Amino acid sequence: MEKAMLSAHGIGYETYKREHDIRMNVEMKREENYKKGQQLFADLESKLHSNI
């Protein structure tokens, strides 16, 4: 988990656990990325179904 946090967010897991502000920033970025992924999926799915 430590390597994943460092590579994805540039901070260690212990810092993530201790620092509320950092944790909130990471979680907001995760949510934003999730929403972008969902929108991308929806766009691709609609294009796929419109070509049938």
- What average pLDDT does range 33-51 have in this prediction? 93
The tokens describing 24, both together, are: 């909130």
pTM of the complete model: 0.77
Q: Look at the chain and report how many structural domains it folds into.
A: 1
Tell me how far CA of residue 14 lies from CA of 6, 20, 31, 50, in angstroms.
Answer: 11, 11, 21, 47
- What average pLDDT does range 18-45 have in this prediction? 96
Mapped onto helix, strand or coil, the DSSP state of residue 3 is helix
Q: Report the chain's mean pLDDT, rounded to a whole number.
A: 93
C-beta of residue 12 within 8 angstroms of C-beta of residue 19: no
- Quick one: pLDDT band at residue 17, thresholds 50, 70, 90? very high
Give the structural domain span for 22: 2-50
